[in-house]
Structure 1
Amino acid sequence: MLKHLNLDEMVALLSPWAHDPKQRKLFLSIPEIAALHPRVVEAHEAVLAVQPSNGRGGAASKVRALVDKSDEVDRCHDHLARAVSYGIDAHRELCLAEEPGDAARAAQCDVVQQKLFPSGLSILNASPLAEAGNTTRIARLLEDEPEIVDFLKSIPARGKTSLLDVVKRWLAKGRELQSIERARTELEATQATTPASKTTIQSARSQWFKIVSLVLSNLEMSRASARDIEIIRGPVLRASDRAGKRYAGPRPDEAPPEDDAQGPATEPSEARPGGDEGVDLSELP
């Protein structure tokens, strides 16, 4: 009854074999199936990639990775922006604390602060793309007004650096944010406009059926302990049995279940779980 399993069930059943450390170790310890593990991983990735509820599997994982990376870069970007703003403010206060106070230099701090942060630090609450656009504006500002560059260079920062070095790091994080957001947009657009075809889904299902059937068939000949065999085989057989009962046959007043992209599909080459019929390795895609 493997043919009645849907994609969600197929992903869940193969995930322990492919990635759970204990089950993977157990799988590899059984000689009759150990060599099949790479094909198990391939089959798992194939059904994961076409699983509708998982957002296209691999593509969704890449999007999540980009989101995580964007969050980390954005965190650093915001800290650097605050360091620049607070650094200018601190320098202004020191100028006013001198005896006599350096009002001209303090006024210069106000001018630079206003040009770098016209809306204060509210920009840090904007989207990553807006923050990246803001740092692009600042890069142009420094090119057009070299006196601001000289001013920032004159304010010491941590170690032997100046506030200008901090600004350069800030601008670099802005460019990195822009690059990440562009990659994310392109990936999401590709994901949205290239849904998995039915042919692709059926190919992934077929690959899954063949390798799982082969594993079950080889376990019939295994000399491993009954407990170890049950740990590997039991969940598949129980899920298959439950799936078979779902499609045991419609009541007279029900229409037969329609075949859809995620639902069961007939696989003529599928071996019966626990049966005598095996699957030739050469038939695997």
Structure 2
Amino acid sequence: MLKHLMIEEMVALVSPWVENAQRRRLFLSIPEIAGLHPKAVAAHEAVLAVRPSKAGPSGKMSALNDELARVDERHDHLAKAVCWGIDAHREHCLGEDPPARERAATCDQVQPKLFPGGLNIIKASPTAEAGNTARIARLLEEEPSIGEFLKGIPAPGKTTLLHTTQRWIKTGKELEAIEHRRDELAAKEKTAPVTRATIAAARSQWFRVVSAVLSNLELSDAPIEAIETIRGPVLKASERAGKRYGGPPAGEAPSLEEPGGPAVDEEEEAGAGDGGIVS
């Protein structure tokens, strides 16, 4: 019976309709249920929001952490490209015959301005890295001669070291933006309590939408294979849940009657007992 499904099962059953591209296309290809897809997405998000907390960050926070790691890695590579690019240019200048000592001296002047602590900046926090690239952006505005100097150093793709520096500055802005999003999400997740009432509301929303999908599929002229792909997992899970809680005899269709009260698994019970909060 649908009413006996646990939150984790509800999340897993509708997730393919929302997150799996092939299954989502199949869902939308069936006229009788295509219009329900936005409601299915909303119902899925509702049960996701009240899913019992597991050790570690939420899915959204994990995604932000992964994005931050990718941008941070790009930041570090670009920082090294600028730093070592100036060093390499200095050596090229000194290797000329006769040596271009004035140009090499400019390298010695610019390098500590861009990298006062050497490449230690790439070991700093993303916030510190973002602050440093903001400093460099101001430096280029205040001392345009540095930009002109970097513009004279060739880089891959018919660009210059100035272009590389600008890309480096851009990654700093991206790091700052991601950090802000992480802070906002952390505050939201910390201050958004999940109570028995919100769990019940999410379950009820999910139940109504899934029941409507199953009912509409009964009226559908879509290929039986398509229909079973959408409803099969739900019906099987419902049957298992019914047996788990002493549901109807084998062979009897799962009940689509809205439950008077949600079934709560042990984790939900522990997290939201007597109006408590699921973290």
The reply to whether TM is greater than 0.5 is: yes
CA offsets 1:244-275 (integer angstroms, 9 cap, x no match): 333349xxxxxxx9777846xxxxxxxxxxxx
Cα distance 1:40–1:103, how it changes in 2: closer, same or farther (>3 A)? closer
Residue 200 (structure 2) aligns with: 202
Residue 146 (structure 2) aligns with: 149
Residue 186 (structure 2) aligns with: 188
Among residues 95, 101, 111, which one is paired with 1:113 in the alignment? 111
* Residue type of the alignment partner of 1:243: A
* Distance in 2, Cα, partners of 1:171 & 1:27: 44
* Distance in 1, Cα, partners of 2:225 & 2:166: 62
Residue 212 (structure 1) aligns with: 210
CA offsets 1:78-127 (integer angstroms, 9 cap, x no match): 33322321221122112222334344543442343233223332322333
The SS at the match of 1:52 is: coil
* Superposition map of 1:34-45 within 5 A: 34-45=34-45
* Residue type of the alignment partner of 2:14: L
* Distance in 2, Cα, partners of 1:16 & 1:241: 19
The SS at the match of 2:154 is: coil
Q: Paired residues, what number?
A: 252
Residue 134 (structure 1) aligns with: 132
Q: Give aligned-pair identity as a percent.
A: 57
Residue 82 (structure 2) aligns with: 84
Residue 276 (structure 1) aligns with: none
What 5-or-longer segments of structure 1 have no aligned partner?
250-256, 264-285
Cα distance 1:195–1:88, how it changes in 2: closer, same or farther (>3 A)? same
* Distance in 1, Cα, partners of 2:219 & 2:78: 63
* Residue type of the alignment partner of 1:241: E
* Distance in 1, Cα, partners of 2:97 & 2:11: 73
Among residues 238, 241, 254, which one is paired with 1:240 in the alignment? 238
Larger Rg: 1
CA offsets 1:128-148 (integer angstroms, 9 cap, x no match): 22211222343455566x386
Residue 94 (structure 1) aligns with: 92
Cα distance 1:46–1:114, how it changes in 2: closer, same or farther (>3 A)? same
Among residues 104, 111, 125, which one is paired with 2:123 in the alignment? 125
Q: Greater shift after overlay, 108-117 or 227-236?
A: 227-236
* Distance in 2, Cα, partners of 1:22 & 1:154: 48
Contact 1:32 1:219 in 2 (8 A): yes
* Residue type of the alignment partner of 1:236: V
* Residue type of the alignment partner of 1:90: A
TM superposition score normalised by structure 2: 0.70
RMSD (Å) for aligned C-alpha atoms = 3.8
The SS at the match of 1:171 is: helix
* Residue type of the alignment partner of 1:155: G
Contact 1:54 1:60 in 2 (8 A): no
* Distance in 1, Cα, partners of 2:18 & 2:242: 24
Q: Greater shift after overlay, 16-25 or 92-101?
A: 16-25
Deviation at residue 168 of structure 1 after TM alignment: 3.4
Deviation at residue 211 of structure 1 after TM alignment: 2.4
What 5-or-longer segments of structure 2 have no aligned partner?
248-262, 270-279
Deviation at residue 205 of structure 1 after TM alignment: 0.6
* Distance in 1, Cα, partners of 2:214 & 2:173: 52
* Pair 1:2-2:5 in alignment: no
Contact 2:6 2:265 in 1 (8 A): no
* Distance in 1, Cα, partners of 2:207 & 2:40: 10
